Structure 1
């Protein structure tokens, strides 16, 4: 039964990430603006990210730590803590119906990273988890996973009013005991998805690295 529930949970999240947003602090009075299609937004993002066919993302020259707040543009971002789970089941975030629920193996563990995003600008912002990426020591990205234990606590996406913050978790499966070899990459431009802020936020298209060592 638990496996069935987890599979349903994975599918629901995969089909509707924004429906599970933890953004209850969003401004209710602000009138919604006309939204662009996903395809249009992706084209705008691609246009800003590339110049001459090459990505122009820069890396911050500082290595940040757990508990440190990164302040960029109108956003404050913090990795609060990192927990490890060595038992349980999980599924790939955004997985397909045919994907199978997996069980952690003896040489694996699930890294659970709690983050907080605070918006201090005017009006409100739309945020996404796309600006978060876990990299191994070979700079290879690790796919996000989802677990029933994270239900109600996941950092997904939504709308955040000025002066408000949202806290949630992102999780990944890695080899047991290898936490020190992984880095969370935060990109404020990819996190800020509101279409009318793209031109301004593109100025802050930079990767900020957070070491996950305790």
Structure 2
């Protein structure tokens, strides 16, 4: 924090000295460009969305089922199957590095959701599990978990050239017997986090719903 304050102080002094010899307009023009932060990039995407008159995220008007393949943006998407495991250990994805391993309790079960994403567009796309979100009946997100049992099968991230597909699993711990109350949300725009053509891919910013009953 002290280093940040010192840098801010030095920057302020530098700008003040510059203003003494140049007009304020010239100072603004000569101000060095800074590398865009993640937050600035997000704002740029939101700005692009608004420019096209689109809401931040639209929702598809259809509810899809397990085993159904449907077109979602530049991809075909399928929830192939959902397995239920009522024992074993897991850790939360995105938690602390030293997060403790947890054990499934008697009133819990782990859903193992196998999905396939196929690139049906002309250009390569990236895929990432952040484009998938499990929601409960109150529209609350469930944090994905990792189990050693699914090692090598977890859908993490990568690149798909045109015509190629990938199959992987995501895992979540929910109350036992409550699977029918959960919905998997797939957003192809959020899954493609490395896209360079924001203006084109903004059209894919749609939530597609798959009921898991």
Number of the residue aligned with 1:71: 71
After superposition, residues 164-183 of structure 1 pair within 5 angstroms as 164-183=164-183
Change (3 A) 1:189 1:88: same
SS at match of 1:196: coil
SS at match of 1:195: coil
Give the Å deviation of 1:65: 0.3
Consecutive aligned runs of 4 or more in structure 1 exceeding 3 Å deviation: 40-51
Q: Is the 8 A contact 2:89 2:103 kept in 1?
A: yes
CA RMSD of aligned residues (A): 2.2
Structure 2 spans left out of the alignment, 5+ residues:
1-34
Q: How many residue pairs end up in the alignment?
A: 176
Change (3 A) 1:182 1:124: same
Structure 1 spans left out of the alignment, 5+ residues:
1-35
Number of the residue aligned with 1:89: 89
Q: Give per-residue Cα distances to partners, 1:72-119, cap 9 Å, x unaligned.
A: 332111100000010000000122123111000000000000000001
Number of the residue aligned with 1:191: 191
TM-score (norm: length of structure 1): 0.76
Larger radius of gyration: 2
Change (3 A) 1:145 1:211: same
TM-score (norm: length of structure 2): 0.76
After superposition, residues 37-48 of structure 1 pair within 5 angstroms as 39=38, 41-48=41-48
SS at match of 1:201: helix
Q: Is the 8 A contact 2:134 2:185 kept in 1?
A: yes
Q: Give per-residue Cα distances to partners, 1:158-179, cap 9 Å, x unaligned.
A: 1111111000000100000000
Q: Is the 8 A contact 1:41 1:195 kept in 2?
A: no
After superposition, residues 64-213 of structure 1 pair within 5 angstroms as 64-213=64-213
Change (3 A) 1:82 1:38: farther
Change (3 A) 1:142 1:200: same
Give the Å deviation of 1:41: 4.5
